Every structure is written in C-alpha cells, then in structure tokens.
Structure 1
Amino acid sequence: MHLVTRANWGAKPPRFPLVQIASTRGVKVHYEGAPVPADLAKPENHSKCAGRVRAIQADHLANRKENYSDIAYSFVVCPHGHVFEGRGLHKLQAANGNHQLNVNHYSVCGMVGDSGLTQPTDAQLDGIRDAIDLLREKGGAGAEIKGHRDGFATMCPGDPLEAWVKKGAPRPVAA
C-alpha cells in the first residue's frame, strides 16, 4: 500500500474535533462527481494528486451548508494507486448523505469524475481495495462494500466504479 498521511499531503487541521467511532458495517465507494482531467492518470502527473486532495479538502471546508469539519472522506485514492488519508481510521466521516449513513459506513473516494477521467485505473482499484482492507483490519469496518448510490439518491460513484462494486470490488488481475 502506498499510504500518504495527512501531514505528507499537507492537510489543514479539522475546523472542530472529529467524532470517534469504534466500527462500521463496511465501506462505501465514492467518486468526485465533478470533472477530473483525463491526463491526471499519466505517470508524470502523479505530483498533482496531493494538490487535488488539498483542493477537495478546501471545497469541503468552504461548504458551510454541509458544515464539514474536514475533508468528508475516510480516504481518497489517486489514479496511481496512492491512498491519501482523509479523516482516516475510527473517525466518523461525512460523505454518505446523512448521519445514519455516515455512522454505517466509512467512505473511500476514487479520484475519478463525471467527465474527463471517468474510468478508474487498475492501480486505483488496487488502492481502493488497499484502503478497504486497512479500514477492515485496523478501523473495525465490516464486510459490506457498497457504492454511494446504494441507499442514497445520487449518481456517485459513477457507473464504472458502481459496476466494479457490484462485482464484489475485486482486485485487478495482473497482466
């Protein structure tokens, strides 16, 4: 696993303390739901991924309607398979749509969007599985793996990620 800690990607501190949780039923998979540049997946553009996570956090902190205290996701995974720590382990996240849905599942966001880069890379799918496995092993996540749209009216996580989740979120087969 290529874990990028909050300190390493330059996270701002939460606006107020995050709620501690012991466990969840599982994990919900998300996407950005906005355009993601298609060329972000090029190996030479990995240096842009930390800035993209900072931008996601800045957008969430600026959203006073939702009143996010921090980036909403537990983890964010870039197209190169690096797992960026969001709220992290044992923290109530805020991405699933309402309080009960947030209590029930952690959230992992694949850095793909509704245009541009819409198809997750194999490295990214592997990274999402790494994040799910970490949440299970050290965060008390249960066996459920669902898409954000499972239980909440949204297009998230997009059709490609939703199809992958429906197949059981398998690790890509090495070529």
Structure 2
Amino acid sequence: MKVHYEGTAVSTRLLSDHAACVAEWKAIRASHLANKVENYSDVAYNYAACPHGFLLEGRGVGRRTGANGNQDLNRAHYAIVGLVGSEGLTEPTDAMLSAIRDGIELLREHGAGTEIKGHRDGYATSCPGGPLYAWVQKARRVRPPRPRPPRPRHPLSRRTTCPPR
C-alpha cells in the first residue's frame, strides 16, 4: 500500500463541504484523464479519503495503480490518496485517517499485502506530506488485522454478510 497526497494547495473548504470533496475528486480524475504524457485510463489512485471520512472509489480493487510509476519498487502497490495538500488543508482529520485505514483493510481483503508506505518511500518526493507521512510511519508498525472467517450467506441475499443476530 502506498499513501499519497495531492502535493498542491488544497482548499480548507473541503472541511465544511463534502460536495467540495466530491468535486475535488472529480477534478483529480479529469486531470489524470487529460494527462497525455502518463496516458492514464482512469484516475491514478485506487481510492481517495476525504476529511469527512468517506472512501471515494478510483480504480478500486484488482486494478493496477497508475500513481506509483513503473519502477520495480512501486509496481506491486495499491494507492490511496488523502485529500490534503502542501498548503491550505495539510492536516488529515481523524475521519480521513479512518477512511484510509478502511481502504487499506478493503484492499487487504482482496489480496493486498501488509506493507504500508508513503510515496516518498520509493521515490524522491515529499508525498504524502509531513502530517500524513507521520501517520503512515505509525500505521506501518501496527500489526495488521487477522483475517476474519467467512460468514454464512443466504443464497438469495445480495448482501455480502448476514446481519448480526
């Protein structure tokens, strides 16, 4: 898992307006699709986490990220971006960190490994910024959760798990 940030100024308006988070995510996707140098087929990240604790889907699970480049060190990593930047909104909220953790757990349920790194751990960059990188350093020392045994599922249910009894 590689954790990223936007690396540019991010408006503090995102703190008070979730619609601004969605607009920011759409703008990131549009800029990646318009980038003819990288030739992305979608937004480069698998997921984004907003200050309100929402996990926003990018490439999702099972798709190679475009955010880490083609270097051997980065090829095997999924990418989650926190909607924070180098100016303005620079501090991840507790809700954002929780959403990043949810994204990590979701990707692990679909085959991702236990490694958590910042983008700077394989490339000369300041990404994911000081405050988010401090969290990454703490998170990598946390023992990953044990896999849960599959729960029985009713054959006609569309839910992936049964409700608690």
2:148 maps to none
TM-score normalised by length of structure 1: 0.77
Which amino acid is 1:161 matched to? Answer: L
Which amino acid is 1:157 matched to? Answer: P
Picking from 4, 19, 43, the partner of 1:47 is 19
Contact 1:93-1:102 at 8 Å conserved across structures: no
Please report how far the alpha carbon of residue 99 of structure 1 lies from its aligned counterpart in structure 2 after TM superposition. 4.9
Q: Which has the higher contact order (CA 8 A, sep 6+)?
A: 1
Picking from 60, 79, 86, the partner of 1:88 is 60
DSSP-derived class of the 1:108 partner: strand
Please report how far the alpha carbon of residue 167 of structure 1 lies from its aligned counterpart in structure 2 after TM superposition. 1.1
Cα deviations across residues 65-86 of structure 1 (Å, max 9, x unaligned)?
1111110000011110100110
Distance 1:68 1:152 in 2: 19
Report the aligned-residue RMSD.
1.3
1:149 maps to 120
Structure with the larger strand share: 1
1:168 maps to 139
Q: Bigger radius of gyration, 1 or 2?
A: 2
Please show how residues 35-114 of structure 1 align to structure 2 within 5 Å. 35-42=9-16, 45-114=17-86
DSSP-derived class of the 2:116 partner: strand
- Counting aligned pairs with the same residue, the percent is 57
DSSP-derived class of the 1:144 partner: coil
DSSP-derived class of the 1:100 partner: coil
Contact 2:55-2:100 at 8 Å conserved across structures: yes
Number of aligned pairs?
A: 141
Please report how far the alpha carbon of residue 122 of structure 1 lies from its aligned counterpart in structure 2 after TM superposition. 0.3
Q: Please, which runs of 5 or more residues in structure 2 have no aligned partner?
A: 143-165
Q: Report runs of 4+ in structure 1 exceeding 2 Å deviation.
A: 97-103
Distance 1:101 1:85 in 2: 24
Please show how residues 111-130 of structure 1 align to structure 2 within 5 Å. 111-130=83-102
TM-score normalised by length of structure 2: 0.82
Task: Provide closer, same or farther for how the CA distance between residues 101 and 66 of structure 1 changes in structure 2, counting only shifts above 3 A.
Answer: farther
Contact 1:36-1:112 at 8 Å conserved across structures: yes
DSSP-derived class of the 1:68 partner: coil
Contact 2:68-2:75 at 8 Å conserved across structures: no
Distance 1:74 1:37 in 2: 22
